[in-house]
């Protein structure tokens, strides 16, 4: 089976798509990847070992000139897609979002390719929302993203995370000091990087251990924030082995992007979430509420969260380890660890039905 993956723009689209691509490749299928020549996928996908089909497409929003040119750029990208599809002859096209998914999805419909969409967020992206009514199948990570009977398959996460043992077997919450993993995100969430050191400074000396991932270019200033408060912390820009980080942690403080929330559930760890407040559709609030409604997290509005309030929450959780353990267990129970396999199976089903008919 020839599979065309469409994903790009952000890691939130690319990494779930990569997990599905890996699963499909292991099943013996041929993978090609359609993406923007200007996006991060142009670098990441070839490094993963997949053939990359580049489109000259960028964001449709932004400056006034970009908005004026958007229809013309879409038509140009669409013609590129039509040529690529005729050359590569994909049996199924799987869209995960990103700038290339719009022309790619339209091209799939025009050339009568099987089109499968996966939506990672609790609020559908513009491209998936527009294409959903015409796609052969639509899958969603969270309940109620789309109306109607749309299958919930979770978000594909890295295989190493799915191999972690359950929270009780990891000894979560049994360490003398509370182990707090702080995720500032790939771009570096300044609010989190500033807030956490100020909050930790109010806790008893040596009552917590901090492993703080700051994001690009934020390590030195965050190290300085801890140092100025006479605090010890492990501060890094990136964490390559997230499975080791999650295995170590009793508690996670993070944004509530779809991939992060799905990982927290898949590995089974309680979290304090601070949704990114500037998205137009407020998607991170919806993601955070999904975990919180299942008693697997607590979330705070960034505009209202102070170091004092965060410190009080950390102190309470350090005293009430049973709440941490119960929350981690709830996260584990709602986590979907075979999401990549589920998406791969649906893709295979589409082709099987086509061959039968």
Summarised one tens digit per residue, pLDDT across range 117-161 is 999 998 898 899 999 999 999 999 999 999 888 999 999 998 899
Task: Flag whether 11 is marked binding.
Answer: yes
Record the tokens describing residue 172, joined without a space. 């979560």
Angstrom distance (rounded) from CA 88 to CA 304 = 52
DSSP state of 273: E
Mean pLDDT (the chain, rounded): 92
Query: Which structure tokens are listed for 283?
Result: 């998607």
pLDDT tens digits, one per residue of 6-47: 999 888 899 999 999 999 999 999 999 999 888 889 999 999
* Pure H helices in the chain: 11-26, 41-48, 64-88, 101-110, 126-131, 159-162, 167-170, 190-200, 219-228, 242-248, 258-267, 283-293, 307-319, 321-334, 339-356
Say what percent of the chain tops pLDDT 90. 77
Cα(116)–Cα(93) distance, integer angstroms:
6
Which residues contact residue 11 at a Cβ distance below 8 angstroms, ignoring those fewer than 6 apart?
40, 186, 259
Q: How far apart are CA 166 and CA 184, in angstroms?
A: 25
Q: Is 186 annotated as a binding residue?
A: yes
Distance (Å, rounded) from C-alpha 357 to C-alpha 112? 15
Check whether 121 is labelled as a binding-site residue. Answer: yes
Q: To which H or E segment does residue 136 belong?
A: none
Name the residue among 4, 81, 77, 9 with its Cα closest to residue 41. 9
Residues of the chain with pLDDT under 50: 356
R_g of the chain computed on alpha carbons: 21
CA dihedral 23, 26, 28, 31 (to 10 degrees): 50
- Residue 239, annotated as binding a ligand: yes
Express as a percent the part of the chain with pLDDT over 70: 95
Residues 292 and 47: their CA atoms lie apart, in Å, by 36
The pLDDT of residue 73 is: 78
Smallest CA-to-CA distance from 81 within 14, 136, 27, 36 is with 36
Region(s) of the chain under CATH 3.40.50.2000: 2-157+337-356, 161-334
161-334 fold: Rossmann fold (3.40.50)
Check whether 10 is labelled as a binding-site residue. Answer: yes
Rounded to 5 degrees, what are φ and ψ at 349? -65, -40
The residue whose two tokens read 């944004």 is: 255
In sequence order, the β-bridge partners of residue 271 are 252, 297
Give the model's pLDDT for residue 207.
Answer: 93
**How high is the pLDDT of residue 61?**
58
Q: Residue 353 has what pLDDT?
A: 74
**In the CATH scheme, what is the homologous superfamily, with its name and number, of domain 2-157+337-356?**
Glycogen Phosphorylase B; (3.40.50.2000)
For tokens 């901090």, what's the residue?
Answer: 210
The owner of tokens 């609790």 is: 122
pLDDT for position 68:
64
Residue 253 CA: distances (Å) to CA of 6, 199, 264, 326: 31, 12, 10, 17
Q: How far is 313 from 309, CA to CA, in rounded Å?
A: 6
Output the CA angle 239-243-247, nearest 5 degrees: 110
CB 250 within 8 A of CB 240: no
Residue 173 among known ligand-binding residues: no
pLDDT at 5 (0 to 100): 98
């Amino acid at each position: 089976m020839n599979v065309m993956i469409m994903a790009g723009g952000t890691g939130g689209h690319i990494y779930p798509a990569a997990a599905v691509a890996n699963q499909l490749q292991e099943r013996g299928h041929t993978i090609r990847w359609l993406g923007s020549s200007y996006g991060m996928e142009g670098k990441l996908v070839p490094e993963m070992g997949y053939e990359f089909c580049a489109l000259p497409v960028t964001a449709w929003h932004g400056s006034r000139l970009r908005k004026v040119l958007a229809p013309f750029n879409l038509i140009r990208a669409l013609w590129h897609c039509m040529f690529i599809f005729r050359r590569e002859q994909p049996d199924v096209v799987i869209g995960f979002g990103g700038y290339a998914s719009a022309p790619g999805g339209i091209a799939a419909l025009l050339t009568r390719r099987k089109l499968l969409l996966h939506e990672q967020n609790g609020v559908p992206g513009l491209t998936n929302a527009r294409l959903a009514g015409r796609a052969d199948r639509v899958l969603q990570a969270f309940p109620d993203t789309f109306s109607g009977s749309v299958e919930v398959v979770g978000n594909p996460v890295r295989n190493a995370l799915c191999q972690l043992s359950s929270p009780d077997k990891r000894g979560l919450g049994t360490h003398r000091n509370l182990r707090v993993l702080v995720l500032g995100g790939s771009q570096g969430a300044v609010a989190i990087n500033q807030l956490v050191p100020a909050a930790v400074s109010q806790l008893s000396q040596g009552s917590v251990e901090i492993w703080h991932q700051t994001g690009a270019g934020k390590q030195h200033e965050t190290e300085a924030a801890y140092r100025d408060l006479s605090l010890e912390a492990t501060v890094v820009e990136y964490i390559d082995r997230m499975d080791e980080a999650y295995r170590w942690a009793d508690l996670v403080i993070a944004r509530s992007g779809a991939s992060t929330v799905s990982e927290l559930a898949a590995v089974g760890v309680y979290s304090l979430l601070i949704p990114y407040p500037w998205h137009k559709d407020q998607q991170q609030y919806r993601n955070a509420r999904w975990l919180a409604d299942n008693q697997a997290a607590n979330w705070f509005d960034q505009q209202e969260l102070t170091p004092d309030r965060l410190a009080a929450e950390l102190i309470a959780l350090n005293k009430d380890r049973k709440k941490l353990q119960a929350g981690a267990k709830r996260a584990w129970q709602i986590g979907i660890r075979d999401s990549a396999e589920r998406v791969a199976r649906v893709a295979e089903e589409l082709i099987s039905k086509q061959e039968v008919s």
